Amino acid sequence: MNNYSPTDAVADLMRTVSAQVILPRYRNLAAHEVQEKAKDDLVTIADKESELRLAEGLATILPEARIIGEEACAADPTLLDRIGEGLIWIIDPIDGTGNFAAGRPPFGVMIALVDGGIVEAGWIYDPLEQRLCHAERGKGATIDGKRLRATESGESLPVAGISTLFLGTDEREGLLRRAEGKLRMVDIPRCAAEQYPRIALGVNDFALFHRTLPWDHAAGALFLNEAGGRVARYDGSPYRVGTGETGMLAAASPAMWDRAADILLG
Protein backbone atom coordinates (compact mmCIF):
# COMPACT_ATOMS: atom_id res chain seq x y z
CA MET A 1 0.00 0.00 0.00
CA ASN A 2 3.01 2.32 0.03
CA ASN A 3 2.50 3.27 -3.60
CA TYR A 4 -1.23 3.77 -3.37
CA SER A 5 -3.11 4.89 -0.28
CA PRO A 6 -6.71 5.65 -1.26
CA THR A 7 -8.11 5.04 2.22
CA ASP A 8 -10.06 8.24 2.83
CA ALA A 9 -11.35 8.52 -0.74
CA VAL A 10 -12.75 4.99 -0.65
CA ALA A 11 -14.39 5.56 2.72
CA ASP A 12 -15.99 8.80 1.50
CA LEU A 13 -17.24 7.04 -1.63
CA MET A 14 -18.85 4.25 0.42
CA ARG A 15 -20.58 6.76 2.69
CA THR A 16 -21.86 8.79 -0.26
CA VAL A 17 -23.21 5.80 -2.18
CA SER A 18 -24.82 4.43 0.97
CA ALA A 19 -26.56 7.74 1.67
CA GLN A 20 -27.63 8.46 -1.89
CA VAL A 21 -28.34 5.00 -3.32
CA ILE A 22 -28.72 2.32 -0.66
CA LEU A 23 -30.55 3.87 2.28
CA PRO A 24 -33.26 5.58 0.17
CA ARG A 25 -34.20 2.07 -1.07
CA TYR A 26 -34.15 0.47 2.38
CA ARG A 27 -37.69 -0.67 3.27
CA ASN A 28 -38.75 1.09 0.10
CA LEU A 29 -38.40 -1.56 -2.61
CA ALA A 30 -41.16 -2.38 -5.06
CA ALA A 31 -41.74 -6.05 -5.85
CA HIS A 32 -40.24 -5.74 -9.33
CA GLU A 33 -37.07 -4.23 -7.84
CA VAL A 34 -36.11 -7.53 -6.17
CA GLN A 35 -35.06 -10.50 -8.27
CA GLU A 36 -33.74 -13.99 -7.57
CA LYS A 37 -30.39 -14.65 -9.28
CA ALA A 38 -30.34 -18.22 -7.98
CA LYS A 39 -31.86 -20.21 -5.13
CA ASP A 40 -31.45 -18.23 -1.90
CA ASP A 41 -29.58 -15.47 -3.75
CA LEU A 42 -31.35 -12.15 -4.31
CA VAL A 43 -30.39 -8.97 -6.09
CA THR A 44 -32.14 -5.62 -5.86
CA ILE A 45 -32.08 -2.45 -7.88
CA ALA A 46 -30.04 -0.94 -5.04
CA ASP A 47 -27.31 -3.59 -5.48
CA LYS A 48 -27.02 -2.79 -9.17
CA GLU A 49 -27.07 0.99 -8.74
CA SER A 50 -24.62 0.82 -5.83
CA GLU A 51 -22.15 -1.26 -7.82
CA LEU A 52 -22.27 1.13 -10.76
CA ARG A 53 -21.66 4.17 -8.56
CA LEU A 54 -18.89 2.48 -6.59
CA ALA A 55 -17.19 1.31 -9.77
CA GLU A 56 -17.30 4.81 -11.25
CA GLY A 57 -15.76 6.26 -8.11
CA LEU A 58 -13.06 3.63 -7.74
CA ALA A 59 -12.05 4.09 -11.36
CA THR A 60 -11.15 7.70 -10.59
CA ILE A 61 -9.35 6.85 -7.32
CA LEU A 62 -7.03 4.25 -8.86
CA PRO A 63 -7.44 4.18 -12.66
CA GLU A 64 -4.81 1.47 -13.21
CA ALA A 65 -6.81 -1.11 -11.24
CA ARG A 66 -9.39 -3.36 -12.85
CA ILE A 67 -12.82 -3.48 -11.22
CA ILE A 68 -14.78 -6.65 -10.46
CA GLY A 69 -18.15 -6.47 -8.75
CA GLU A 70 -20.50 -9.18 -7.57
CA GLU A 71 -23.29 -8.19 -9.93
CA ALA A 72 -20.97 -7.86 -12.90
CA CYS A 73 -19.76 -11.40 -12.21
CA ALA A 74 -23.34 -12.63 -11.99
CA ALA A 75 -23.87 -11.30 -15.51
CA ASP A 76 -20.49 -12.51 -16.81
CA PRO A 77 -18.90 -15.29 -14.71
CA THR A 78 -15.77 -15.24 -16.89
CA LEU A 79 -14.71 -12.10 -15.01
CA LEU A 80 -13.60 -14.44 -12.21
CA ASP A 81 -11.13 -16.23 -14.48
CA ARG A 82 -8.30 -13.74 -13.86
CA ILE A 83 -9.34 -12.34 -10.51
CA GLY A 84 -6.07 -13.48 -8.95
CA GLU A 85 -3.98 -11.54 -11.48
CA GLY A 86 -2.95 -7.90 -11.34
CA LEU A 87 -4.35 -4.96 -9.38
CA ILE A 88 -8.10 -5.23 -8.85
CA TRP A 89 -10.88 -3.55 -6.91
CA ILE A 90 -13.43 -6.10 -5.67
CA ILE A 91 -16.89 -4.77 -4.83
CA ASP A 92 -19.77 -6.19 -2.86
CA PRO A 93 -22.32 -3.39 -3.39
CA ILE A 94 -24.68 -4.70 -0.69
CA ASP A 95 -23.58 -7.64 1.41
CA GLY A 96 -26.56 -9.23 3.10
CA THR A 97 -28.97 -8.50 0.26
CA GLY A 98 -31.49 -10.97 1.67
CA ASN A 99 -31.66 -8.92 4.86
CA PHE A 100 -31.78 -5.64 2.96
CA ALA A 101 -34.59 -6.87 0.71
CA ALA A 102 -36.55 -8.04 3.77
CA GLY A 103 -36.16 -4.62 5.40
CA ARG A 104 -34.00 -5.76 8.30
CA PRO A 105 -30.38 -5.38 9.36
CA PRO A 106 -27.58 -6.24 9.03
CA PHE A 107 -26.23 -5.37 5.62
CA GLY A 108 -23.12 -3.59 4.48
CA VAL A 109 -20.84 -2.50 1.67
CA MET A 110 -17.49 -4.23 1.16
CA ILE A 111 -14.55 -3.19 -1.00
CA ALA A 112 -11.13 -4.82 -1.27
CA LEU A 113 -8.00 -3.84 -3.17
CA VAL A 114 -6.16 -6.94 -4.35
CA ASP A 115 -2.78 -7.23 -6.05
CA GLY A 116 -1.83 -10.59 -7.55
CA GLY A 117 -4.30 -12.44 -5.34
CA ILE A 118 -3.04 -10.76 -2.15
CA VAL A 119 -5.50 -8.47 -0.38
CA GLU A 120 -3.74 -5.16 0.20
CA ALA A 121 -6.59 -3.19 1.75
CA GLY A 122 -10.20 -3.68 2.76
CA TRP A 123 -13.17 -1.54 3.76
CA ILE A 124 -16.43 -2.70 5.38
CA TYR A 125 -19.15 -0.10 5.86
CA ASP A 126 -22.41 -0.48 7.79
CA PRO A 127 -24.80 2.17 6.38
CA LEU A 128 -27.24 1.96 9.29
CA GLU A 129 -24.65 2.17 12.07
CA GLN A 130 -22.29 4.32 9.98
CA ARG A 131 -19.46 2.05 11.14
CA LEU A 132 -16.34 1.78 9.01
CA CYS A 133 -13.97 -1.15 9.42
CA HIS A 134 -10.69 -0.79 7.58
CA ALA A 135 -7.40 -2.63 7.26
CA GLU A 136 -4.22 -2.40 5.25
CA ARG A 137 -1.85 -5.31 4.91
CA GLY A 138 0.87 -5.07 7.54
CA LYS A 139 -0.59 -1.91 9.06
CA GLY A 140 -3.32 -3.21 11.36
CA ALA A 141 -7.08 -2.75 11.53
CA THR A 142 -9.32 0.06 12.66
CA ILE A 143 -12.98 0.74 13.37
CA ASP A 144 -13.96 4.35 12.75
CA GLY A 145 -10.30 5.28 12.79
CA LYS A 146 -9.51 3.67 16.16
CA ARG A 147 -6.97 0.85 16.24
CA LEU A 148 -8.57 -2.52 16.98
CA ARG A 149 -7.21 -5.64 18.60
CA ALA A 150 -9.45 -8.69 18.24
CA THR A 151 -10.72 -10.25 21.47
CA GLU A 152 -12.35 -13.55 22.33
CA SER A 153 -15.78 -13.65 23.97
CA GLY A 154 -14.40 -15.10 27.20
CA GLU A 155 -17.28 -17.55 27.52
CA SER A 156 -16.67 -21.10 28.73
CA LEU A 157 -17.87 -22.55 25.43
CA PRO A 158 -16.66 -20.80 22.29
CA VAL A 159 -19.41 -18.84 20.54
CA ALA A 160 -19.69 -20.19 17.02
CA GLY A 161 -21.39 -18.73 13.98
CA ILE A 162 -21.41 -21.57 11.49
CA SER A 163 -22.98 -21.33 8.05
CA THR A 164 -24.30 -24.71 6.92
CA LEU A 165 -26.39 -23.35 4.06
CA PHE A 166 -24.20 -24.76 1.32
CA LEU A 167 -23.07 -28.00 2.97
CA GLY A 168 -24.24 -31.43 1.91
CA THR A 169 -26.46 -33.35 4.32
CA ASP A 170 -23.75 -35.72 5.57
CA GLU A 171 -21.21 -32.92 5.99
CA ARG A 172 -23.73 -30.77 7.86
CA GLU A 173 -24.79 -33.54 10.21
CA GLY A 174 -21.19 -34.52 10.92
CA LEU A 175 -20.18 -30.95 11.70
CA LEU A 176 -23.12 -30.39 14.03
CA ARG A 177 -22.43 -33.70 15.79
CA ARG A 178 -18.80 -32.73 16.45
CA ALA A 179 -19.89 -29.32 17.77
CA GLU A 180 -22.50 -30.66 20.21
CA GLY A 181 -21.59 -29.85 23.80
CA LYS A 182 -18.31 -28.20 22.80
CA LEU A 183 -19.55 -24.96 21.25
CA ARG A 184 -22.37 -22.50 21.78
CA MET A 185 -23.95 -22.21 18.37
CA VAL A 186 -25.56 -18.87 17.50
CA ASP A 187 -27.55 -17.66 14.53
CA ILE A 188 -25.45 -16.27 11.71
CA PRO A 189 -26.25 -12.76 10.46
CA ARG A 190 -26.19 -13.95 6.83
CA CYS A 191 -23.94 -10.99 6.18
CA ALA A 192 -20.15 -11.27 6.12
CA ALA A 193 -19.94 -7.50 6.56
CA GLU A 194 -21.37 -8.09 10.05
CA GLN A 195 -19.89 -11.48 10.84
CA TYR A 196 -16.24 -10.46 10.58
CA PRO A 197 -16.66 -7.47 12.93
CA ARG A 198 -18.55 -9.67 15.40
CA ILE A 199 -15.52 -11.95 15.63
CA ALA A 200 -13.06 -9.09 15.99
CA LEU A 201 -15.18 -7.45 18.71
CA GLY A 202 -15.61 -10.62 20.79
CA VAL A 203 -19.30 -11.13 20.08
CA ASN A 204 -18.51 -14.41 18.33
CA ASP A 205 -15.33 -16.44 18.75
CA PHE A 206 -15.23 -17.89 15.28
CA ALA A 207 -17.14 -18.57 12.09
CA LEU A 208 -16.96 -21.31 9.52
CA PHE A 209 -17.72 -20.66 5.87
CA HIS A 210 -18.12 -23.13 3.02
CA ARG A 211 -18.51 -20.69 0.12
CA THR A 212 -15.71 -18.14 0.05
CA LEU A 213 -16.57 -15.82 -2.82
CA PRO A 214 -14.05 -12.97 -3.02
CA TRP A 215 -16.52 -10.10 -2.59
CA ASP A 216 -17.79 -11.71 0.61
CA HIS A 217 -14.41 -12.45 2.20
CA ALA A 218 -11.49 -10.46 0.79
CA ALA A 219 -12.05 -7.36 2.92
CA GLY A 220 -13.20 -9.26 6.01
CA ALA A 221 -10.35 -11.78 6.03
CA LEU A 222 -7.75 -9.01 5.87
CA PHE A 223 -9.56 -7.01 8.55
CA LEU A 224 -9.66 -9.89 11.02
CA ASN A 225 -6.10 -11.01 10.33
CA GLU A 226 -4.78 -7.48 10.76
CA ALA A 227 -6.74 -7.18 14.03
CA GLY A 228 -4.83 -10.18 15.37
CA GLY A 229 -7.33 -12.91 14.60
CA ARG A 230 -6.77 -15.70 12.14
CA VAL A 231 -8.52 -16.51 8.87
CA ALA A 232 -7.30 -19.57 7.00
CA ARG A 233 -8.38 -22.48 4.86
CA TYR A 234 -9.24 -25.73 6.60
CA ASP A 235 -5.67 -26.97 6.08
CA GLY A 236 -4.26 -23.82 7.68
CA SER A 237 -3.12 -22.21 4.44
CA PRO A 238 -3.73 -18.47 4.08
CA TYR A 239 -6.69 -17.05 2.17
CA ARG A 240 -5.87 -15.80 -1.31
CA VAL A 241 -8.16 -14.40 -3.96
CA GLY A 242 -8.57 -16.40 -7.14
CA THR A 243 -7.67 -19.91 -6.01
CA GLY A 244 -11.19 -21.30 -6.41
CA GLU A 245 -11.00 -23.13 -3.08
CA THR A 246 -13.91 -23.55 -0.69
CA GLY A 247 -13.98 -23.78 3.08
CA MET A 248 -12.55 -21.29 5.56
CA LEU A 249 -12.35 -20.82 9.31
CA ALA A 250 -12.19 -17.34 10.84
CA ALA A 251 -11.37 -16.90 14.55
CA ALA A 252 -10.69 -14.15 17.06
CA SER A 253 -7.18 -15.45 17.77
CA PRO A 254 -4.75 -18.06 16.45
CA ALA A 255 -5.36 -20.12 19.61
CA MET A 256 -9.12 -19.99 19.06
CA TRP A 257 -8.59 -21.00 15.42
CA ASP A 258 -6.69 -24.09 16.58
CA ARG A 259 -9.38 -24.93 19.13
CA ALA A 260 -12.17 -24.57 16.59
CA ALA A 261 -10.27 -26.59 14.00
CA ASP A 262 -9.68 -29.41 16.51
CA ILE A 263 -13.40 -29.58 17.24
CA LEU A 264 -14.82 -29.16 13.76
CA LEU A 265 -12.13 -30.37 11.40
CA GLY A 266 -10.09 -32.80 13.46
Beta pairing partners, 250: 207, 231
The whole-model pTM stands at 0.94
Per-residue pLDDT tens digits of the chain, which is 266 residues long: 445 457 799 999 999 999 999 999 999 999 999 999 877 789 999 999 999 999 999 999 999 999 999 999 999 999 999 999 999 999 999 999 999 999 999 999 999 999 999 999 999 999 999 999 999 999 999 999 999 999 999 999 999 998 777 777 788 888 888 999 999 999 999 999 999 999 999 999 999 998 899 999 999 999 999 999 999 999 999 999 999 898 999 999 999 999 999 999 87
Q: Where do the domains of the chain lie, and which CATH numbers do they carry?
A: 7-147 (3.30.540.10), 159-264 (3.40.190.80)
* Residue 111 · residue 10 · CB < 8 Å: yes
pLDDT digits (tens, 9 = 90+) for 203-253: 999 999 988 999 999 999 999 999 999 999 999 999 999 998 989 999 999
The packing angle between helices 45-61 and 7-17, to 10°, is 150
Q: What is the pLDDT of residue 5?
A: 57
- Residue 204 has φ and ψ, to the nearest 5°, of -115, 150
